[in-house]
């Protein structure tokens, strides 16, 4: 019997304050993005919404490929609880700023994400079956992307 496909993207909506469209070249590790339009290797461009809606937490970029956790496959509570293992810069939440990038809360890592993967993902329960949310995306395939900013009070409730 086939497993039911689950997409938790809509559950994240209550956690998100703002989404800001950016160029694909502005994507950086340790941040969350919504991919809205993507050109797959078969040459077909698809708009990702509904069951295909895609949120990703980027862990690295190497040779024009983005690696990360497909948050659409992970419950928001699970992601934020897992985030406690990487959050070290909690003072950012005390600053007088409305928008906080997720990367501001975590230590800088190598751009390729190799160290991040080995230290925080490889042994994590976040990647257990059946969903296995670790993915890669070709940078040139990204047609429309938005950077996601979570509500500050949500971040404070988990990390302050």
Nearest to 12 by CA among 91, 70, 86: 70
SS3 19: strand
Distances (CA, A) of 98 to 58, 66, 132: 22, 28, 33
Do residues 8 and 75 touch, judged by C-beta distance below 8 A?
yes
What is the C-alpha separation between 90 and 105, in angstroms, rounded? Answer: 6
DSSP 58-121: EEEEETTEEEEEEGGGS-HHHHHHHHTTT---GGGGGSS-S---GGGTS----TT-HHHIIIII
Per-residue pLDDT of the chain (160 residues; tens, 9 = 90+): 444 567 888 889 899 999 999 999 999 998 999 998 888 888 888 887 776 778 999 989 999 999 988 888 888 998 888 888 888 787 778 777 778 888 888 877 778 888 888 777 777 776 665 567 888 899 999 989 999 999 988 888 888 7
pLDDT tens digits for range 24-61: 999 999 899 999 888 888 888 888 777 677 899 998 99
Q: How big is the chain by its Cα radius of gyration, in Å?
A: 15
pTM as predicted: 0.86
C-alpha 150/C-alpha 18 separation (Å) is 7
């Amino acid at each position: 019997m086939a497993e039911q496909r689950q997409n938790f993207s809509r559950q994240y909506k209550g956690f998100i304050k703002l989404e800001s469209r950016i160029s694909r070249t502005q994507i950086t590790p340790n941040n969350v993005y919504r991919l809205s339009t993507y050109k797959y290797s078969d040459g077909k461009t698809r708009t990702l919404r509904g069951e295909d809606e895609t949120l990703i937490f980027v862990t690295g970029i190497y040779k024009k490929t983005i690696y990360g956790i497909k948050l659409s496959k992970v419950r928001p509570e699970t992601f934020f609880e897992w985030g406690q293992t990487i959050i070290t810069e909690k003072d950012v939440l005390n600053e007088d700023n409305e928008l906080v990038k997720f990367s501001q809360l975590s230590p800088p890592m190598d751009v390729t994400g190799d160290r991040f993967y080995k230290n925080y993902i490889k042994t994590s329960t976040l990647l257990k079956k059946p969903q296995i949310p670790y993915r890669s995306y070709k940078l040139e395939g990204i047609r429309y992307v938005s950077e996601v900013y979570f509500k500050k009070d949500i971040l404070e409730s988990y990390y302050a």
